[in-house]
Structures are given as C-alpha cells and as structure tokens.
Structure 1
Amino acid sequence: MTQDTQFPAPDFSLPSDTGETVSLAGLKGQAFVLFFYPRDNTPGCTTEAKGFSADLGAFEAAGARVFGVSKDSLESHGKFRAKQELTVPLLSDE
C-alpha cells in the first residue's frame, strides 16, 4: 500500500549547483523531495546521494523533483556531484 505524505516546509530560496535558485514558492503545486545531509563526500552522505540519483527516474516518472540540501558551498557540491556522478541537484544552505 502506498501512502502520500506531505510535510509543511518553511519558506526557502537556495542556490543550486546547477545554477538555478530553488524556492518553495517556485515549487508551488509541484511534487518534490528534499533530502538533507551533513556534508559532501562522507561515506553515509555519498551513499544517500547515490541512492537518490539511482532512483531519480522513478521520482521523475511519479512527477516529483528531487534535491539534496547541505551547508556545503556550491563549489563543494559541484565537485561532489562530478566525483560521484550524481544526477540530483544539490542546494547550498550555508
């Protein structure tokens, strides 16, 4: 059985390593997933980000966008995505 779950999100506007700014207002009416992780290039965070990247097609097929969020810089995110071949955009909340 599948259950849709919604959690209220605080208003945010964060830069992405893809060059866009992602905001709650900009995502209004869209399904999206935010996953939070402490730091780029740590074992657990890498596993988590690779898992979301591997499943990105399924999320997109369901109509949902996926974003990772950490306090690391956009430069760090870019290196992390390239090194780990991640397909999920990463948002910086420094």
Structure 2
Amino acid sequence: MGVLILPMPPMTIEEVIPRTKKWWPPWDSRKQLSSIYCETSGVAQTCDRLGKILADAGGVLTSKLQEDIIRYCRGLNLVWIGKFKLGLS
C-alpha cells in the first residue's frame, strides 16, 4: 500500500475566503479565526453598528477604535465583506 499525499488545507482567513483581501484594513492583522462561534443573535446589529462607526470616520480610526473593532472581530469571528462592512465568517 502506498502513501497518500493530500494537499495542505487552507490555513489563513485569506486562503479560505480570498474575496475578503480587497476589504481587509492594514490595521487588522488577524490571519486565523479565533474559534467556532455558534451564537448569531445580535451579530447583524453589531456588524451594522461597527460599519456605521467605520463609515462615519471615513475608515480613519483612532487606535482605540481600531482595538475595539478588532476585539469584536475576534470574539465574533467577523470578517471584512465590503467597504466598512463586517459579516460572519
């Protein structure tokens, strides 16, 4: 019996969801999702609220706002799906 060699599975967010690269801001250094998140209630409202903050700021955020948004992204496994727009991965 021979050895079966399988290709490596995608390991980064960009490899798994390449369309996110276009919208990913340089200050979001996440490469992997943090966990499997099952709860979805309220996530759409959170994404809308964060998107409004980003749009109102024209994408230019203070480091504090960047940290706050990244904290939500990590906790809820949000990815960038459009200009100033976050969604569930």
Work out which of the two has the higher radius of gyration on C-alpha atoms and give 1 or 2: 2
Greater helix share, structure number: 2
TM-score using structure 2 length: 0.35
Greater strand share, structure number: 1
